Amino acid sequence: MTWNKSEIQEAKEGLRTILKPGDTVYTVLRHVSRSGMYRAIDCYKFEDNQPAWLSMRVAKAIDNRFDKRYDAIGVGGCGMDMGFSIVYNLSHALFPDGFECIGQDKDKHVYCPSNDHSNGDKSYTPHHHRDGGYALRHKWM
């Protein structure tokens, strides 16, 4: 299914109100084809210990297929973590110009998710990360 530009933009705007840099998007594998080349994956965010279903909006925001049989995002291919791929593409779609470093909180073990910090950037002071694809965290449920 292809989405029109207004649907994509509306989904992005809605998700930007829900998801901020540093938030975790949880994925659930709903289906794998016999060949292993297709998966249906659900996306959630937890707020107040309650799951918020994001899959339809995520599918629109990243202009991906929505599989109505499983109420999940349909993705093809293999050889990589497709849940991570969905979250990375979502993060890149929501923050195309990057994001501000969220720093670190040693007491809560919360650190900025940017890959810049793994590649030599040891500063957690406020500064801009150019790759918005790492603004969100990913975890499987």
Q: Which of 22, 6, 15, 96 is closest to 56 using CA atoms?
A: 15
61 domain-assigned: yes
The Cα 108–Cα 92 span in angstroms is: 26
Domain that holds residue 83: 5-100+132-140
Encode the chain (141 residues) as per-residue pLDDT tens digits: 679 999 999 999 999 999 999 999 999 999 999 999 999 999 999 999 999 999 999 999 999 999 999 999 999 988 899 999 999 999 999 999 999 998 887 666 678 899 898 898 888 888 999 999 999 999 999
32 domain-assigned: yes
121 domain-assigned: no
125 domain-assigned: no
DSSP 87-130: HHHHHHHH-TT-EE---EETTTTEE---GGGGGT----SS-EES
